[in-house]
Amino acid sequence: MSDIHYMTKVGYDALEKELKHLKTVKRPEVSKAIAEAREKGDLSENAEYHAAREEMSHLEAKIAVLENQFATARIIDETKLDISKVGILSKVQVMNKKLNKKQEFTIVSEAEADIKVGRISVSSPIGKALLGKKVGDMAVAQTPAGPMELELLGISI
């Protein structure tokens, strides 16, 4: 088992739904494809069989990762969060000094991160830099593009 994964109720439910789908729908589909390819004869030269076995291998690896996340997940009660400083599930407004632009992020677990919708991982460079900061504080995130200076303008849930 690895570290605890803190998640929102929505993220937890999505993880549970995806895991159930992979186990009850995808796994039987791939098993059926393997069985059908096996019936076609010589397995050493059967590309369909080898492709289906490889797909099953990838599927089982993904299921194992999701099962670990699910087993170590803890749902965070948003009503008990302290918004005086940045923590997981904090919605933060920052001024990116490098771009001279206001940005908004929600700090979430790795499993829920999606930069396209402004959800950044607590373990990302920006997430790490902002953790524990209060409104008015400056944070410097060491990103692949170089240091990013962020001024914390607001915290909410």
Token pair belonging to 74: 């803890």
Do 113 and 65 lie in a common domain? no
Instruction: Give the H or E element holding residue 155.
Output: strand 146-156
Do 9 and 50 lie in a common domain? yes
Q: Residue 116: give its domain's CATH number.
A: 3.10.50.30
Do 64 and 82 lie in a common domain? no
Q: Which residue is associated with the tokens 């170590």? A: 72
3-class DSSP assignment, residue 3: coil
Do 108 and 65 lie in a common domain? no
Do 114 and 71 lie in a common domain? no
DSSP of 78-136: GGG--TTS--TT-EEEEEETTTTEEEEEEEE-GGG-BGGGTEEETTSHHHHHHTT--TT
List CB contacts of 4: < 8 A, sequence separation 6 or more. 72, 73, 74
**Which residue type occupies 154?**
G
Domain residue limits at 134 = 78-156
Do 40 and 100 lie in a common domain? no
Do 83 and 149 lie in a common domain? yes
Token pair belonging to 115: 């930069």
Q: Which residue is associated with the tokens 């677990």? A: 109
| Structural domains in the chain (count) | 2
Q: Residue 63: give its domain's CATH number.
A: 1.10.287.180
Predicted local confidence at residue 2, as pLDDT? 55
Do 91 and 106 lie in a common domain? yes
* Predicted confidence pLDDT, tens digits, the chain (157 residues): 457 777 888 888 988 999 999 999 999 999 998 888 888 776 677 788 888 889 999 999 999 999 988 888 888 877 777 778 998 888 999 999 888 999 999 998 887 888 899 899 988 999 999 999 999 999 999 888 889 999 999 998 8
3-class DSSP assignment, residue 142: strand
